Structure 1
Amino acid sequence: MGDVRPMKVVDRIREAIFAGDLAPNQRLIEADLCAQLGASRSHVRNALADLVSEGLVERIPNRGARVRAITLAEAIEFTEIRMVVEGLCAAKAAARVTDGQAAQLRSIGQRMRQYEASGDLIEYSNCNKELHAFIRTISGQSAAGDIIERIRGNLTRYQVRLALQSGRAAVSLPQHLEIIEAICARDEGRAEKAMRSHLRSVIEALENTRPATSNGDPW
């Protein structure tokens, strides 16, 4: 495999973190990454430096780099940021949505209904991600999308835990359907309120996962 451009190396390592292929606290050995990605040592080193600046990777003195594990408190802070930014995106989406996009939103909502009813939490979670991403696309807020993408990897394992939490889909489904209907109704204030309410519910669910003896350490 030929050498890979630096940004490609960054993207591939980042996506591996997002997907959980590289686990929290896992050591990132440059030689191994070079072999896996077909990239030069300098490109891998530069990519890791970029990911350190993004907060996805940390360097440990005398031990090299590893995937950074974030605390529950940090996950809640990131979700609070999402609440503000995605609330804005929902409002902008309501102002810009076309009839065709509204139909697509309702189609996603219908699939979410079906997966929640059948108990298929993996597909329900996939639809959840699809819905949020599509709303950001409709909004046209590219800077907001960049912010969400930058923090997405830090939230991945917490989102997976919530997605598989018993009863969580039944709670979030009506919230998502309200977001969809508010956007389709082109009601900006209602859409922003619905998105904020949904993500506030996510924060409450995260709080409820905190062990009674939690000292703030990562899971």
Structure 2
Amino acid sequence: MPSLRLQPVDSKNLADRVADQLRETIQSGAYAPGERLVERRLAAELGVSHIPVREALTRLIEEGLVERLPRRGCRVAAINAKELRDLSRLRVLLEQYVAERAIENWNDQAERSLREIVAQMEAAADRGDTRRLSNLDVRFHEELWALTDDEILIDLVAQLRGRIGGFLRAATTALEPAALRAHASSHGELIDALSARRVGPAKRAMARHIEVAAQRVGDALPPEAG
């Protein structure tokens, strides 16, 4: 039940904290696409008034994570095939630039850290621990983004990935064991391309990485009405 998914927050920067917790909960997949978000219920779960909840929901609407329905309140945003294609195309462009910038700042310590994450991802995949695998997947990309040393770029790619984060988690959970392991190992192939410091191959590897993930999400979406 939703009451088990949120924790009370303190009064400092209340709307920010509420938005952060709702965002994390949505992106984790704990709230399903299309699930209604009732202000009064959320306020009770969080231990706050409805005002910071309303402000937080407005911010998440601006980010595309939440939709406001006429006379029906808010719900977790759903996604259709066209939106997925558009988001994925933008992600390819931005993440290829991430790859280019990461190569500029590539170092042995970064490579060791990323390879350790991949080893943990593969171990999680072998155990069938999709929650752990998804969390490590997010951490992998956050560390890669940090190598760019570009806060604006980091914010943009994080926001785009966040728009489909819940769908990515759900699609990963549905993978068969062999596909789960292949998904984890694909991050090692991405490191190989980056560590070679060849921009062209690294950008192509990044595009493949994103396109495969998008296809996985697309396969899990309900068919569109004809």
- Normalising by the residue count of structure 2, what TM-score does the alignment of the two structures yield? 0.81
Partner of 2:52: 43
Partner of 2:112: 103
Residue 140 of structure 2 corresponds to residue 131 of structure 1: yes
Describe the shift of the 1:181–1:59 C-alpha distance in structure 2 as closer, same or farther (beyond 3 A): same
C-alpha separation in 1, matches of 2:49 and 2:122: 47
C-alpha separation in 1, matches of 2:194 and 2:77: 36
Q: Gaps spanning 5+ residues in structure 1: where?
A: none
Residue 160 of structure 2 corresponds to residue 151 of structure 1: yes
> CA offset at residue 174 of structure 1?
4.7
Describe the shift of the 1:58–1:96 C-alpha distance in structure 2 as closer, same or farther (beyond 3 A): same
Partner of 1:180: 191
Write the letter of the residue equivalent to 1:41: H
Q: Does the CA-based 8 Å contact 1:75-1:154 persist in structure 2? A: no
Partner of 1:190: 201
Partner of 1:3: 11
> CA offset at residue 33 of structure 1?
2.1
C-alpha separation in 1, matches of 2:20 and 2:89: 25
Write the letter of the residue equivalent to 2:191: I
Q: Does the CA-based 8 Å contact 1:75-1:158 persist in structure 2? A: no
Partner of 1:205: 216
Q: Does the CA-based 8 Å contact 1:52-1:58 persist in structure 2? A: yes
Describe the shift of the 1:13–1:173 C-alpha distance in structure 2 as closer, same or farther (beyond 3 A): closer
Q: Does the CA-based 8 Å contact 1:57-1:65 persist in structure 2? A: yes
Aligned residue runs from structure 1 range 4-153, under 5 A: 4-5=12-13, 6-153=15-162
Q: Does the CA-based 8 Å contact 2:124-2:130 persist in structure 1? A: yes
Write the letter of the residue equivalent to 1:108: I
Write the letter of the residue equivalent to 1:189: G
Q: Gaps spanning 5+ residues in structure 2: where?
A: 1-8
Q: Aligned-pair RMSD on alpha carbons? A: 2.5
Q: Does the CA-based 8 Å contact 1:94-1:186 persist in structure 2? A: yes
* Identity of matched residues, %: 30
- Normalising by the residue count of structure 1, what TM-score does the alignment of the two structures yield? 0.83
Write the letter of the residue equivalent to 1:194: A
Aligned residues: 215
Write the letter of the residue equivalent to 2:106: V
C-alpha separation in 1, matches of 2:30 and 2:124: 25
Describe the shift of the 1:64–1:183 C-alpha distance in structure 2 as closer, same or farther (beyond 3 A): same
